[in-house]
Chains A and B, each alone.
Chain A
Amino acid sequence: MQKHSINNDSSHQLNDIFNACGFGIIIIDESSKILYWNKWVSKNSHVSLDDVKGQRLEEIFPILGKTRLLQAIKDALEHHLPSTLSYKLNRQMLPLSSRNGKNIEHNIKLSPLKKTDLSYHCLVEITDISAAIKRENQLREISDQMRREKEWANVTLMSIADAVITTDQDGSITSVNEKAENLTGFSRSTMIGKFLSDICPISNAAIGGSPHPITNCLENRLALTDTDNYQFLTADGNPYAVNLSIAAIIDLDNTLLGAVMTFRDITQSRHISDQLSWQAKHDHLTGLLNRRELETKIEEHRLDAKHNDNSHNLMYIDLDQFKIVNDTCGHGVGDKLLKRISQVFQDQLRKDDILARIGGDEFCVLLPMCPAKNALSIANTLRQATLEYRFVHDNKPYMLGASIGLTAITGFERNAAEILSAADSACYSAKSLGRNRVQVHNHDTNDEQPQQVMQWFSRLQSALEEDRFILYAQEIASIHEQHTAHYEVLIRMLDQDGNIVPPNSFIPAAERFNLMQSIDRWVLKKVCQYFSGLQKNNKKLPVISINLSGISVGDTHFLEETTSLFEEYNTPTSYICFEITETAAISNLKDALTFMTEMKKRDCKFSLDDFGSGLSSFTYLKTLPVDYLKIDGQFVKNITHDLVDKEFVESIHKIAQVMNIKTIAEFVENDQILNTLKDIGIHYAQGYGISRPVPLDSIELH
């Protein structure tokens, strides 16, 4: 019945429809025989329906014995169950190929077709899925390629030593590498989707108010390369300096896709460079500014003075007595002293004052916004603080002094060096004038001063060459009894016009330019010649005190020269008294002792000069074979009204007595002083009150 139904009109139409279908249709009858297949099947199996009708499918296609298709047909016919046979699980079930010989990949669907209550046919639908397979393969290939590329990119990203963060066009993070996790302190999962500007916030300390580089990059498509200007905050809020590069990711059609930022932590290297720059600007011992940095500051203030009319001052400090500590206690102790004294200075200064160490024992203080009067008072405070400070080493206290030069920064100077040099020359004057004092630079003689110092070298040299020095003598009078005449010879320089130049003008220069030994030699030779002259004329011989510098005392060569001079002039050496300062003796104690011992053999006398101004150490006194102690004039000149000074002089005298050393007082300016000294028991007096220095040749000897 049903077979026949395909033959009627409507069946013809159905047949046409089936044949027009773009997929295969096979109808299997209840006895598993082929009832029908459409044109699509004939065309692609290359077998016509007429040749197969009534046969079993497996008879036409023996290959089917190995597939699930036959079972599926059975399920449909017997159990009325539909089946799907997929290409993936059942490759090439039917041997179908297109005209060009290409296999037709296919899926098969089977449905039971109810014929009667008890019998079912089976509808087999065959779908060409070649195109879908091709699509899938392409998709798979593309996806594999993307996966590989992503993997590649990931591995690259992970192995990059820099942190890498990518964002979308809004600045939200799309990917990060491990380094970025380490650096920011955020985990990948936390960062993804957050704004880069929130994950790497700019630390305010770095650049206040400047926009995040990502903002600039996305808004203006500006790339930054290798910039060190940013500092971010970690998850914990710690700042870290970064070197960063950032670039926009732009599509082929110029669409902004996002940005990529690479950065690395340069906190460490910045720290090192900060340190280097600190070191370049500071004195490593005291931590104060160094000379170069001070000059920079001075220049800044010079310009400020020039343009804004503000008043700034510069102080130049030279430590008196530092050399003694350094030479006797060692450099380590000297360094310690410098550190301590910088603190002493610092304690006296205002917050904005700039303290710098510009040389061995030379300091400078820049006093910004400070009128000259205040500057002078600050300078005096510093001087006083230095004087009061006791540096203790090995249980011995050391006293220090400060010679301070002060100059105003007017803005009219050419440069910082000129200001520094003005302060230096004022300091030099302070030293010349007896140390432990403040000397204000005189701007009226502005142009001369620095050159003046420099000119001293040539002036001294030519004076030595041209013998333009003369000796003066000042009497050292016995207070209690008549005695052998005793004079201290004092050197004076004659300038080219024959004017007398006092020693405090050129001795510091001679010290500075290492000419002291030449001067000492000149004086000694003159004295020897003087004695020689007296002896020829059978004159009575006075005792002559000669000042010797520390340099000379400590130099063995000078000892030889002295010896040969004595021999050459047949000098009555018992009339020679060498005056050396305590400082000079102690700075080079060993050589000084050698000199003294040698001279003592010739019956020379020794006088310790300026006693009381320096270390005033009686310990040293015991080791030095001195005959006279010359008490520093500073204590003598006020002795009539300053009880402390008087007490001091008394105690020196007492101890000297015990040690069998005679005492000499300087600066005896009047009779009152003389009387006081007399009461104390001081042996000798020297000063204007006794007699003024006169040319050596003019002293009258009886």
Chain B
Amino acid sequence: MNKANTILDEIHLDALGELLNIGMGAATASLSTMVRQEVLLSVPVIRVLNQQKVPKQLYDNPPTTISGVRQSFSGEFTGSALLLFSDENSISLVRAVLGESLPLAQLSEMEEEAITEIGNIILNACISSLANVFHEHLNSETPEYLHEDLNELFSDDEDDDSFVLLLKMTFQIAKQDITGHVTFVMDIESITKVRDQINTMLGL
């Protein structure tokens, strides 16, 4: 945590939050259109922290498995953007978006695709807002649906570089009580580059 804090100080975090908020704003607008309901966006919380601590940071009672979408990117920064839901919420989300009243116990292939698309919209918005502002090219891979053990998702083999730029941004589809989190997982090098870009942008 100390190490992380030395990388990004308050001013970087604020700036980053502002940037991502813009991207998320656009994304939630699309999401709102899809679910035909108001989507509320929380104030983003940005932290840099050890990967293993992510589950506790995201949930008071971390669920065992988690559903979501991963979109990896490379270029100036390397990492992946994740949109995460609890399993129940992923089903509720499909229900909200597709208007299906009787969901299956688990997501079907089609429903996984739909979730992937939703994740794609949100994550594209975040990634592009980062890229736009930094005038950097990011090569983004196609999004993939994930359903994994939460702890495994955030355990890293390379222990010292295993830091996460956690953008904890919660969006809520009001009527459904669906909460999702967006996180960026980047290595120290990428985070350092992000810091440098922010410094450049802010003329520091």
Task: Check A129–B117 contact: CB distance below 8 A.
Answer: no
* 8 Å CB contact of A109 from B105, B109, B127, B142: B142
Task: Check B117–A111 contact: CB distance below 8 A.
Answer: no
Q: Does A485 contact B (CB under 8 A)?
A: no
Task: List CB contacts (< 8 Å) of A142-172 with chain B.
Answer: 143-144, 147
Task: Check B113–A143 contact: CB distance below 8 A.
Answer: no
Q: Please judge, given known A-B contacts A139-B104, A140-B104, A143-B105, whether A84 and B110 are in contact too, CB under 8 Å.
A: no
Task: Check A86–B113 contact: CB distance below 8 A.
Answer: yes
Task: List CB contacts (< 8 Å) of A176-191 with chain B.
Answer: none
- In the bound complex, how far is the Cα of B137 from the Cα of A114, in angstroms? 11
- In the bound complex, how far is the Cα of B113 from the Cα of A83, in angstroms? 11
A residues near B142, Cβ cutoff 8 Å:
82, 84, 109, 111
Q: How far is the CB of B106 from chain A (nearest CB, A)?
A: 10
B residues near A85, Cβ cutoff 8 Å:
117
* 8 Å CB contact of B113 from A75, A81, A87: A87
Q: Please judge, given known A-B contacts A82-B143, A89-B97, whether A136 and B109 are in contact too, CB under 8 Å.
A: yes
Number of interface residues of B (CB under 8 A): 30
Task: Check B141–A147 contact: CB distance below 8 A.
Answer: no
- In the bound complex, how far is the Cα of B127 from the Cα of A135, in angstroms? 35
Q: Does B78 contact A (CB under 8 A)?
A: no
B residues near A140, Cβ cutoff 8 Å:
104, 108
Q: Please judge, given known A-B contacts A79-B128, A89-B34, whether A132 and B140 are in contact too, CB under 8 Å.
A: no
Task: Type the 1/0 row for A309-324, where 1 means its CB is closer than 8 Å to any CB of B.
Answer: 0000000000000000
Task: Check A139–B143 contact: CB distance below 8 A.
Answer: no
B residues near A135, Cβ cutoff 8 Å:
109
Q: Please judge, given known A-B contacts A82-B143, A136-B108, A139-B108, whether A88 and B120 are in contact too, CB under 8 Å.
A: no
Q: Does B114 contact A (CB under 8 A)?
A: yes
Q: Does A80 contact B (CB under 8 A)?
A: yes
Q: Does A107 contact B (CB under 8 A)?
A: yes
Task: List CB contacts (< 8 Å) of A64-118 with chain B.
Answer: 75, 79-90, 107, 109, 111-112, 114, 117
Q: Please judge, given known A-B contacts A139-B104, A140-B104, whether A88 and B128 are in contact too, CB under 8 Å.
A: no
| Nearest-neighbor residue (CB-CB) of B30 within chain A | A68
Q: Does B111 contact A (CB under 8 A)?
A: yes
Q: Please judge, given known A-B contacts A79-B128, A81-B128, whether A86 and B108 are in contact too, CB under 8 Å.
A: no
- In the bound complex, how far is the Cα of B97 from the Cα of A79, in angstroms? 26
B residues near A81, Cβ cutoff 8 Å:
124, 127-128, 140
- In the bound complex, how far is the Cα of B132 from the Cα of A79, in angstroms? 8
Task: Check A88–B111 contact: CB distance below 8 A.
Answer: yes
* 8 Å CB contact of B139 from A83, A86, A107, A114: A114
Question: Which 8 A-B pairs have CB atoms at the shortest separation, nearest pair first?
Answer: A86-B113, A88-B114, A86-B117, A82-B142, A81-B124, A86-B114, A136-B108, A84-B120
Q: Which B residues contact A (CB, under 8 angstroms)?
A: 34, 71, 94, 97-98, 102, 104-105, 108-111, 113-114, 116-118, 120, 124, 127-128, 131-132, 137-143
Q: List 21 A-B contacts (CB under 8 A).
A: A79-B128, A80-B131, A80-B140, A81-B128, A84-B116, A84-B143, A85-B117, A86-B116, A87-B113, A88-B98, A88-B113, A89-B114, A89-B117, A111-B142, A112-B139, A112-B140, A117-B137, A129-B110, A129-B113, A136-B110, A147-B102
